Amino acid sequence: MSTPPPTSPSDPPRLLRHLYDAAVARAHPAVVLPAHLPDPPKGRTVVVGAGKATGAMARALDAAWPPGKPLRGTVITRYGHVPPHAPDPASTQTPPERITILQAAHPVPDEAGLRATQAMLAELQGLTADDLVIALISGGGSALLTLPMPGWTLQDEQDLHRQLLRCGASITEMNTVRRHLSAIKGGRLASLCGPAPMLTLAISDVPGDRLEDIASGPTVPDPTTCADALSVIDRHGLTLPAHVIARLQRCELETLKPDDVLFQQHSARLIATPQDMLAAAAQAARDAGYGAHILSDRMEGEARDVGRVHAALALQVARHQQPFKRPCVLLSGGETSVTLDAPAQKHGSGGRCSELMLSAALALQGQPHVWMLAADTDGIDGMSNAAGALIGPDTLPRAQALGLDAKAMLQAHDSGRFFEALNDQVLTGPTFTNVNDFRAMLIM
């Protein structure tokens, strides 16, 4: 639930959290999904899909679908991301679910994800041209949809995901590789629907809102090639079995392309995007009496570098009132990367949002009248329990008083422990949506 805006400018952290809550609320499946549902088909409607928001998407679809029309399906979400049932004031009974929600691991696949994917595919048996498949796709589906290609094991896929998470690759680069090394991504799920048409409803968590990058595009065509995947593998020094590299070199693992006739009867819609959530936050800031400016919905790069850039923009406004007049709020979205350059056991805790915030705090050096928040809209920053973190003019002095070395902790990727000690983490729990990272800078 969104917190009310502060009644005075004396509580910047509360205002920033209010803007985050407004952004997340705008992208909740219960809000955005019903308007995109088609009319029921002549035959059956089967629902499949995966992602951190997909459990909530399934609940929203089930609630909005006509009670007398056939509906069934199976979707996969991350552990702990199944939303509670909305209370029915007319009944004390929980209505039976027509769509099964299974749970699996993220960001590294697990055995439960493999079993859940197989159970989901079983729903697609016996489809006819009179039926309809609705695919519910959101960020996180790359790990949750787990179906290794022949000659590739679950352990191989787990190792690939770990390498991709450590190497600093962008989400586009990651998914280019993952699409080509999967039996279900890169349009391959769509190919299993037989004669039935498919409608994909997607919540975007990727810069640029490219459908092929949301959950590695299981239901849409892929414009990238095996050569593109090999280029990413070489650029980031990924280690793969020789036989897999050879198959990529021979173009044996090519994905489905935009000119494939399969997609003539399939369609896809974006039902929530990073730009949508930024627009909602901007309106909330204006309603609270502040100028609001959206910098970009697709900022990428190394988290600590993007943190320094955000600090530089805030300093320009704070010191010179350029390019915007104070007081104002600057907003951005996107997905940064964190390159881990040491063994995993030597890393601290945290994620890309908290690392961005620690880098920004160091660059600001206690600049008066500047506060920032960065948090993942799914409520989970990396593998931490926090969504992100807040900083203000007193961040570094309070850290020093606690004996925390901000520079050393940034170098050790230990931003989570840093902000936990300051009690400056953004704690939300799962939000049941996922439209990428949210960042807000308040300059008074």
Q: pTM of the predicted model, to two decimals?
A: 0.93
In angstroms, rounded to a whole number, what is the distance separating the alpha carbons of residues 217 and 255?
Answer: 10
91 or 144: whose pLDDT is higher? 144
Dihedral sign, CA of 332, 334, 340, 341?
negative
The total of other beta-carbon atoms located within 10 Å of residue 348's CB is: 17
Residue 434 has pLDDT above 90, yes or no: yes
pLDDT, tens digit (0-9, with 9 covering 90-100), for 77-122: 999 999 987 655 555 555 678 999 999 999 999 999 999 999 999 9
Residue in 75, 181, 53 with CA at minimum distance from that of residue 119: 75
Mean of per-residue pLDDT scores for the chain? 94
What average pLDDT does the segment 143-151 reach?
A: 95
User: Which two structure tokens, joined as six digits, stand for 152?
Assistant: 């590739």
pLDDT, tens digit (0-9, with 9 covering 90-100), for 316-345: 999 999 999 999 999 999 999 999 875 554
pLDDT, tens digit (0-9, with 9 covering 90-100), for 209-254: 999 999 999 999 999 999 999 999 999 999 999 999 999 999 999 9
pLDDT band at 192 (very low <50, low <70, confident <90, very high): very high
5 or 134: whose pLDDT is higher? 134
pLDDT band at 1 (very low <50, low <70, confident <90, very high): very low
For 227, 239, 331, 371, the CA distances from 294, given in Å and listed in that order, are: 36, 39, 5, 16
The full set of domains in the chain, from first to last, is: 12-25+274-443 (3.40.1480.10), 30-272 (3.40.50.10180)
DSSP character for 391?
A: E
pLDDT, tens digit (0-9, with 9 covering 90-100), for 346-403: 667 889 999 999 999 999 999 999 999 999 999 999 878 999 999 999 999 999 999 9
Instruction: Identify whether 323 is preceded by a cis peptide bond (ω within 30 of 0).
Output: yes
Q: Where are the alpha helices (DSSP H) in 49-122?
A: 54-64, 111-122
Through-space distance between the first and last CA atoms of the chain, rounded to whole angstroms? 26
In angstroms, rounded to a whole number, what is the distance separating the alpha carbons of residues 247 and 84?
Answer: 45
Q: Where are the alpha helices (DSSP H) in 181-239?
A: 226-235
pLDDT of residue 94: 57
In angstroms, rounded to a whole number, what is the distance separating the alpha carbons of residues 375 and 17?
Answer: 10
Residue in 241, 33, 277, 245 with CA at minimum distance from that of residue 135: 33
Helix (H) / strand (E) containing 75: strand 72-78
In angstroms, rounded to a whole number, what is the distance separating the alpha carbons of residues 336 and 301?
Answer: 5
DSSP character for 203?
A: E
**Checking DSSP bridges between strand 198-203 and strand 266-272, what pairing results, if any?**
parallel
